[in-house]
Structure 1
C-alpha cells in the first residue's frame, strides 16, 4: 500500500535573526543586530539610537516613533513607507515594523534617511558573502576573508534622461547588458543596497536592486544608454537617454490624510523648516525648451538655448563643489511647468532654481531679477511677467479656487517661503557683486513653475534679451561662465548658512 505523507508549510511571520551588521557612518563604524525579511535587512531603532548616542521615543501628538540623532528629529511612520527629517519627507521602500519590542528599520532607511541626519554617507557591510545568480560568463568570487561592501544606488531623473550612479568596490568587474525592455547589472562581488523605485513613464519606469542584481525597467521613450566608469570612489554611471520622461507628482497637502492622533488638525508653520546638514542636491530648471522658445533676441538668439547653456555650466560648477546637480532637461525638449517641480520633488532636491532670460517692450530695460512664489505679485511688472511665463508653459495654476482649500494651499506654499526669499536675496547679491548688473531687486509673483516645489524655490531672470548690450553678453561663453559662477557662489553661501545656523542670513 502506498503511504502518502502530507507536509504542511506554514508561513513564517515576523523577522528572522541572521547575525550582525557593520555600519560605517560619519561618526565611526558601529555593529548592530540584524534580521532579514521581505528580501531586505532590518535593524532595531532603539539599538541604533544607543550606538549613535541618540534617543528613541514616541511623538506626543501622533504617537509615531521618533529618533533624535545629532540634533535632528526623525519621525517614522509605521503605517506608510515614509519618514521625515526635521519636517522633510523621505520615501522608503518598506514600512518600518514593530516586532518583539523593537521598531525594525529597513536597510534603505540607513542609507538614505540616516545619511541625511548624520550629514554624510552611511554604508552597510555584508556579514557574509552572498550567493550570486548566473549570467553569461564566469564571475569572480569575493576575496577570502573579506567582507563584501554594499553598493550604493543613486538615481537622478530629468525630462530627457535618467542617470543611475552605482558606488562601491568591485564595480569594474560588474556585468551590464540589455534584456528586452530591461537593463540588468550583475555584481561580481558585494551586493546592492536594496532599492525599489517606481519612477514614472517614458525612459525609465522602475528601478529594482536586490542582492547582486540591479534591474532597470525601460519605457517607450527609451532610446539608448551610455556608461562611464570613475575612480576615487569607484563608480559606474549608467546614463539612459530618450524623451518624454515623467514622474508622478506627489499629492498636494490638501489631499493627504492627517497622521494618527492629529484629529485632522493643520498646524500653521511659525518658522521655516529646519534643514538637515546633508544639503547636497540642487534641481536646476533651464526655462522653456522644445516648441516653447521663450524670449527672442537679435541674430536668432532664443531664450531656451541660453538657459540650457547657463544651466549646464551651473550644474558642472556644482558637481566640482561636491554637490549633486539634477537638470529638468539636458536638451531642446518641451517640459510641462508642473513636471519641472515634480522632477525636483522626485529627486528630493534641497533647492529648486529656474533659470530664465528677461525681455521688455523697451530696449533700455536691463539688470537681474530674482523671484520667489506668492499669489500676489510685487508690482504690475512682476504680475505681467508671471502671466507671460505661465502662458508660455501652457499650464494653469494648481492653486485651489477658494474656501478651506485655499487656506490649506497657502499653508503648504508658505512652508518654504522664508527660505525662498533668503535664497533669492543671496542670488541677487551675487549677481550685483560678480556681474555688475543693475539690481532690479527681489520680487514675488505667482509663477506656476514654482508652485509645486517641496523645497526653497526661486526663478532667476538673468538679464534682458531685449537689451542689445545684454543680449551680446548673453551670447558669450565667458558671460555665461560668470552667471554660472554667481549662481554657484549663492548656493554655497546658502549651504554654509544651513550647516552653520549662526551665520547671518540675508534679509529679504
Structure 2
C-alpha cells in the first residue's frame, strides 16, 4: 500500500505492468473489508493508480478499471472520502467515454442512492454536478432504466425523479420457478420472478447448524413453503412466505463465497456460491468451451442457410481433442444440438472450477457488408453496434442490455478483468494469424467490450469469440467449410497455449 501511495505522492511512476499489478494488489486487499472505511481508502488508492495509468497511456480499458474501482469505493456516501470517489468516478466515466451524458447518468445513479441517507453535504455536491451537466441530461428511458435497476436491488426508493415512473411491486408478483445447477465445488440458483422486486441478501446459520445464504424478496406473493433437497455444495433450497414477501434460502454443506445479482427480460435473481474465491493465477488445467446457441435456438443464419449453432459446435469439437491430448481437461457446455440457457452455461463453467471460459459464436449485422473476426470481453458497451450485438446474443432488448452497466460495476474483479482482456488479445491475434495464410483479406476487428449475459458471473477469465460474420455472403460461405472452421479452431488452441505459457 505504501508503495502505491509513494508512486502518487512523489514518483517516479512505474511502467504500466508494474502499476497495474500494484493497483490489483491494493484492490484485492480492499475486498477483504470492502464496506469499511479502510476498504474505501484502499479502493480509492487503487483507483487513483489506475487513473494515472490511463492518463499516461490513454487506454480506455485502464480508465474503465479506474472507474470500477471508484465505484467500489463509493459504498459509504454519507462519508466525504466515499462521496469524493463517487464524483471523481462519474467525471472520469464521461471523460473515458467522450460522452458527458454518461457522466450525468453516473451522477444520477449516485443521487438516487443518496435519497433518504443522512448525507446532505454529499447530495448537494452531486446535485451541483448534475446542474452543471444539465444540457447533457440523457433521455428519460435511460434514467428510468437506472431507477429500475436500483429499485429492484433495493438500493434506492422508487418514485418520480424526472424520468418515467417505475411501478411498485404488486401483490400478484410471484416466484415463477427456481432453476439450479449444483456441483461439489460451486452452484448457481436462479429465481425467476413475474416482475422486478426489491431484494435483500443475508447469511445466517440453519437449524441444522449449517451455514445458509438467503434472499428476501419484497412484495412476492406466496402462501406455502417449498423445499428441495440437492446434492453438492448446496444441500437444500427452501422458499417460505414472510410478512413482507418471500425468503429463498440456500443451505450449504460448509463455508462458501457467494455473489448475488439480477438480470432482466425475464427478471431473475441469480445466486452464485463457490467453495473457493475467484482464482488469481495463470495456471490452465481445465477450460470450458461454450458453443453458442443450439436446439430450438439456431442463432444467426448465413445467406445460404448455414446455422450459427452448427458452426460453433463444429469449431468446439475441433478444439477439444487437441487440448485434451496436451493434458488440458475440456468441458463443453453442450456436446450436441440442444438448447442450454445462458445461466446454465456460466454455471457449468463455475461448477467445473475452470481456468478459462471461451464462448464461441458467429457475428451478424443488418445487411451483408460487415465482416471480420472479433473478440469480446464483458464490460459496459458504449457503441451502438456493440449494444445491438449484445442484445442479439442475450435475446433481450438493447435497454435491458444497457442496464448491465450498474450490475457489472459491483461485480468487477480487477485481476480477473485484466486477465480476460489479456486472453482476448491473445485469441484475437491467434485467430487472425491462423486464417490469413489462406484468406489474406480477413479483417482484424480487434478486441471490444459488450454486456453479454453468458459471461456475467463467470469466476474465471472469459471471452466471447465472434468467429466471423455469418451474415456476410463470403464469410458465411467460408464458415460452412471444414477448412475455415479448422483454422479458427487452431487460433483458439494457439491462444490457450500462449496464455498457459505466460505469454
> TM exceeds 0.5?
no
**What range is the shorter-chain TM-score in?**
0.3 to 0.5
Calculate the TM-score normalised by the size of structure 2: 0.43
Say which structure is richer in strand. Answer: 1
Calculate the TM-score normalised by the size of structure 1: 0.43
